[in-house]
Structure 1
Amino acid sequence: MRNGASFSSPGRAKPKTAPHAGIRPLWFYGMFTLLLAGNALTGTALLFSPEIAKVLNGQTEQVIQAYEDRIAQLRVEVDRLHSRSYAQAGDINLQLQELSQQQEMLLEQHQLVKVLVDKAGELGIQTAALGSSPGEVAMAAPTNASGNPDIDETARALAQMMGETEHAMTSIAQTATERTTSIVNEMAEIGIRVSLPDALDGVGGPLLAPSDGGDAAPMIEDANAVMAALVRYKAARESIDAAPIHLPIAGTYRQSSGFGNRRDPFSGKRAFHSGLDFAARSGTTVLSAGQGVVTFVGVRSGYGNVVEVTHPSGLVTRYGHLSGFLSSKGQKVHTGTPIAKVGSTGRSTGPHLHFEVRQGSRAMDPKQFMEAGKRLQALLG
Structure 2
Amino acid sequence: MRQSAKLESQGQKPGRRGVHPALFYGMFALLLGGNAISATGLLMAPDIARLLGGQNELVLSAYEDRLAQMRVEIDRLHSRNYAQAGDINLQLQELSQQQEVLLEQHQLVRALVTKADQLGIAAVATPVSGDMELSMVTTHSGNPDMAATSASVTQMMTETQQAMTGIAVAASERTENIVSELSKLGIALNLPVAPLDGVGGPLLAANEGAAATSPMIEDANAVMQALMLYKAARDSLELAPVHMPITGNFRQSSGYGNRKDPFTGNRAFHSGLDFAAPSGTSVLSAADGVVSFVGERSGYGKVVEVEHGNGLMTRYAHLSGYIAQKGQKVLTGTPIAKVGSTGRSTGPHLHFEVHRADTSLDPKPFLETGKRIIAMLG
Range class of TM-score, shorter chain: 0.7 to 0.9
Matched residue, 1:6: none
Matched residue, 1:301: 298
Equivalences for residues 147-296 of structure 1 within 5 A = 149-199=144-194, 212=206, 213=210, 215-296=212-293
Which of 107, 114, 119 pairs up with 1:118? 114
Distance 1:149 1:313, change over 3 A: farther
- The runs of 5 or more residues in structure 2 that have no matched partner are 1-21, 52-58
Looking at structure 2, the residues matched to 146 and 262 of structure 1 have their Cα atoms a distance apart, in angstroms, of 87
Give aligned pairs, total: 340
TM-score, normalization: structure 2?
Answer: 0.81
TM-score, normalization: structure 1?
Answer: 0.80
Looking at structure 2, the residues matched to 209 and 295 of structure 1 have their Cα atoms a distance apart, in angstroms, of 58
Choose 234-243 or 150-159, whichever is displaced more. 150-159
Which digits, 9 at most, give the CA deviation of each residue in 1:154-188, with x for residues without a partner? Answer: 21221011101110111111111111111001001
Choose 183-192 or 106-115, whichever is displaced more. 106-115
Which digits, 9 at most, give the CA deviation of each residue in 1:298-323, with x for residues without a partner? Answer: 00000000000000222000000000
Distance 1:331 1:55, change over 3 A: same
- The runs of 5 or more residues in structure 1 that have no matched partner are 1-31
Alignment-mate amino acid for residue 366 of structure 1: P
Which digits, 9 at most, give the CA deviation of each residue in 1:89-144, with x for residues without a partner? Answer: 1111111111122222222221111111111111111211212443x2x1x32356
CA contact (8 A) 2:277 2:339 kept: yes
Structure showing greater Rg: 1
Equivalences for residues 1-381 of structure 1 within 5 A = 52=40, 55-56=43-44, 58=46, 60=48, 73-126=69-122, 127-134=125-132, 136=133, 138=134, 140-143=135-138, 149-199=144-194, 212=206, 213=210, 215-381=212-378
Question: Which secondary structure does the structure 1 equivalent of 2:309 belong to?
Answer: coil
Which digits, 9 at most, give the CA deviation of each residue in 1:166-225, with x for residues without a partner? Answer: 10111111111111111001001111101111225xx89xx9878745652211111111
Looking at structure 1, the residues matched to 47 and 111 of structure 2 have their Cα atoms a distance apart, in angstroms, of 83
Alignment-mate amino acid for residue 163 of structure 2: A
CA contact (8 A) 2:256 2:363 kept: yes
TM superposition shift of 1:148: 7.0
Looking at structure 1, the residues matched to 252 and 30 of structure 2 have their Cα atoms a distance apart, in angstroms, of 147
Alignment-mate amino acid for residue 163 of structure 1: T
Distance 1:155 1:282, change over 3 A: same
Distance 1:334 1:210, change over 3 A: farther
Looking at structure 2, the residues matched to 262 and 329 of structure 1 have their Cα atoms a distance apart, in angstroms, of 32
Looking at structure 1, the residues matched to 38 and 103 of structure 2 have their Cα atoms a distance apart, in angstroms, of 84
Counting aligned pairs with the same residue, the percent is 60
Question: Which secondary structure does the structure 1 equivalent of 2:224 belong to?
Answer: helix
Looking at structure 2, the residues matched to 331 and 148 of structure 1 have their Cα atoms a distance apart, in angstroms, of 73
RMSD: 3.3
Question: Which secondary structure does the structure 2 equivalent of 1:252 belong to?
Answer: coil
Distance 1:77 1:49, change over 3 A: closer
Looking at structure 2, the residues matched to 179 and 229 of structure 1 have their Cα atoms a distance apart, in angstroms, of 10
Looking at structure 2, the residues matched to 40 and 108 of structure 1 have their Cα atoms a distance apart, in angstroms, of 90
Question: Which secondary structure does the structure 2 equivalent of 1:321 belong to?
Answer: strand
Looking at structure 1, the residues matched to 50 and 85 of structure 2 have their Cα atoms a distance apart, in angstroms, of 40
Question: Which secondary structure does the structure 2 equivalent of 1:130 belong to?
Answer: coil
CA contact (8 A) 1:110 1:133 kept: no
